[in-house]
Amino acid sequence: MPGPPPYGQPAYGPGPGGYPPPPPRPPSGGGPLIPLLIIGAVLVVIVVAAGAFVVLSADDDDPPVTLPTPTTGVPTPTTSQSATTEDLSTILKTTVSTAGGTTFTRAGGIRSGSCVARAGAELQRALRTNSCSQDMQSALYTNPSRQIVTVVSVLRFADSSAAAAVNDETSEGADPTLLLPPSGSGLPTLSRNPSSWTRSWTRGQFVIYSQGYWASGSDAGERNGTVYTTSGELGIEIANVISWSN
């Protein structure tokens, strides 16, 4: 019987299934491949970081984008929603604060009278075809510095078509007669009608007029000047209150 195998040989021959011995392990340290991979990864990180910095820097130079605010017609006025067109004294109040932040103060009471009696010559002609359904209501206001006077007049018609037809005549010089400051208001007394700007808006069956002039009686200035924009701010506010009134 043969003796035991020489030292270093398998004691029982090849293992079951004849599996080959495992491949030799690579030398420790992985050779030059691992340093190359590390260097490559560092370069990628540097490139990505630099790209991000460029993108962020470019965004800082761009102007901010403002998304438009959705609107649903005329802006909500600041005046209390208890205002009603059945009683215009709830709209032509002693003080009116606008959406622009200006508070106008009424000088004297509300003037009420026939539309024809209160209309200038051009407006009288327009009223022959489309007459008012009630008396004209007017109020005289001053801005906070009391340098600008604005006369707001509200006319009511049978329907929106009649109101629009009369309003179209404003550009042809159709407007109410200009009210001057009442006595005791503390405003300068004017001997004649001053230079003024007239603007008008329709709100359903209503036409709202805004007539502005310098309290001193000096020239009203250019379109889009101080008188034009100041009196227009009040007129638009009253028009929008009427839109939201019950």
Tokens standing for residue 108: 């004297």
- Give residue 61's identity as a one-letter amino acid code: D
**In terms of Cα–Cα distance, which of 119, 92, 230 is closest to 175?**
119
Tokens standing for residue 16: 């079951």
Q: What is the mean pLDDT of residues 71-94?
A: 74
HSE, side-chain direction, 13 A CA sphere, residue 113:
13
Question: Quick one: how far is CA 102 from the chain centroid?
Answer: 16
Q: What is the pTM of this model?
A: 0.69
Neighbours of 236 (CB within 10 A): 20
Axis crossing angle, helix 121-129 with helix 160-167, rounded to the nearest 10: 150
More confident residue, 43 or 241: 241
Q: CA geometry: angle at 155 spanning 201 and 172, to 5°?
A: 55
Q: What pLDDT sits at residue 77?
A: 57
User: Cα(132)–Cα(206) distance, rounded to whole angstroms?
Assistant: 9
User: Cα(24)–Cα(39) distance, rounded to whole angstroms?
Assistant: 27
Tokens standing for residue 146: 């009391």
Neighbours of 7 (CB within 10 A): 5
Tokens standing for residue 88: 């215009």
Mean of pLDDT over the chain: 79
Q: What is the mean pLDDT of residues 138-149?
A: 98
Q: Report residue 66's pLDDT band, with 50, 70 and 90 as the boundaries.
A: very low
pLDDT at residue 85 tops 90: yes
